[in-house]
Structure 1
Amino acid sequence: MTDKTDFKRTLDAYQAARGRFRVLDVPDTQYLMVDGHGDPNTAPAFTAAVETLYPVAYKLKFASKRDLGRDYVVPPLEGLWWAEDMASFTAARDKSRWDWTLMIMVPEWIDQDMFAAAVEEAGARNRPSRLDDTRLETLSEGRCVQTLHVGSFDDEAEVLARLHHEFVPGNGLRMAGRHHEIYLSDFRRVAPEKQRTILRQPVTIAAATSA
């Protein structure tokens, strides 16, 4: 019987503490990805993306266990979020202007051939509507700042404002990539006030200004 890896426990990138901003270096990571736009609460494409990613993720898990003898817990849903005006995430909180990429992490030993086979298998019956939009891609984030948020997504704005406008510039950094969320709780089943979400922001060293 093979051991089952739980990446939430074994990878440092899935560790975060409430009320603390932590700087860490995130290694290049493979993900299943589906892109979209608009309010996640009302955009049909958002629900369709979730309902597409999970079948493919589980097909890959089963193939890994069956063919490679390497079993693992399917990692949590994640999302990249951005907009032309980043105030849409803090002061304005205008969800209709958001772009997003939903993702599920895939172990590094999964290759494109296994992905293609999983997509084909997932589409054999009850084909997910966004299956043709799904891709396997490596995300390179590098240096990041992250924290754990406990509560509803709408209560993130204050935490993000402190991250963007206080911690990042206060530590000689600047934002360098897309806002990243890791949903440790299943938001379809957990009450909003109990949801646990890692909030991550890629950063780089701010350029020095001349006196």
Structure 2
Amino acid sequence: MTDKIDFKRSLDAYRARRGRFEVLDVPEMQYLMVDGHGDPNTSPAFAAAVEALYPVAYALKFASKQELGRDYVVPPLEGLWWAEDMDAFTTARDKSRWDWTMMLMVPDWIDGATVAAAVERVGAGKRPERLDEVRFERLREGTCVQTLHVGSFDDEAAVLAQLHEEFLPAHGLRLTGKHHEVYLSDFRKVAPEKRRTILRQPVTAGGA
């Protein structure tokens, strides 16, 4: 059996530095996903989404280890965030108007049949409320800019403003795709001021 793979160490997409915006190409990856809307701090749907994703992710990890001989660390929780009016996200931070997709990455050697079997296995036990909404989908972001944010989610606005208003225009880039966050810290357990979060934005050439 090979050593346990930790994607936070092996993939550039899971590495970033505080105080520095870096341009990188993010390869197409596959994820378990659940969609939702509303303030993640108060929405029962948000908590239920996270509670549906993790049991499936761990069922996949165990299946991979036992059936395929390939063990790995379950990757960190991730989220895509957007709003019909993006000012509600980047400036006003009106969380009640946010849309989101919560995600956990699935290694590329795992296929849809294995995912379906894992979902069925989880459903046979204490069934998560939103299990039927978990889907398996590929995401191709391509060229992105990302940085590491340390601190409360509520303090992200200044970093995003610097990205959108300074870095992107200065480098001839513009936004494309959805704001993406990678939660290197478990926000259910880590104090807000110590949370480590990768902030990622897909971009394309054509900025002012």
Q: Please tell me the TM-score bracket, short chain as reference.
A: over 0.9
CA distance in 1, matches of 2:7, 2:44: 30
Alignment of 1:18-167 (within 5 A): 18-167=18-167
- The secondary structure found in structure 1 opposite 2:100 is strand
CA distance in 1, matches of 2:168, 2:52: 35
CA RMSD of aligned residues (A): 0.9
CA distance in 2, matches of 1:91, 1:37: 18
Segments of 5+ residues of structure 2 without an aligned counterpart are none
Paired position in structure 2 for 1:172: 172
CA distance in 2, matches of 1:196, 1:89: 19
CA distance in 2, matches of 1:4, 1:67: 15
CA distance in 2, matches of 1:70, 1:37: 35
Paired position in structure 2 for 1:192: 192
Segments of 5+ residues of structure 1 without an aligned counterpart are none
2:60 maps to a residue whose letter is L
CA offset at residue 207 of structure 1? 6.5
2:172 maps to a residue whose letter is G
- The secondary structure found in structure 2 opposite 1:34 is strand
CA distance in 1, matches of 2:91, 2:14: 27
Q: For residues 153-183 of structure 1, give each alpha carbon's deviation from its aligned partner in whole angstroms, at most 9, with x where no partner exists.
A: 0000000011111111111000001000000
CA distance in 2, matches of 1:65, 1:100: 31
Q: Which runs of 4+ in 1 moved over 6 A?
A: none
- The secondary structure found in structure 1 opposite 2:78 is strand
CA distance in 2, matches of 1:171, 1:152: 28
CA distance in 2, matches of 1:121, 1:2: 25
CA distance in 2, matches of 1:102, 1:186: 14
Equivalent residues, number: 208
CA distance in 1, matches of 2:35, 2:91: 24
CA distance in 2, matches of 1:2, 1:170: 45
TM-score normalised by length of structure 1: 0.97
1:107 maps to a residue whose letter is P
Indicate how the Cα distance of structure 1 residues 207 and 171 shifts in structure 2: closer, same or farther if over 3 A, else same. Answer: closer
Are residues 1:201 and 2:166 paired? no
CA distance in 1, matches of 2:88, 2:207: 25
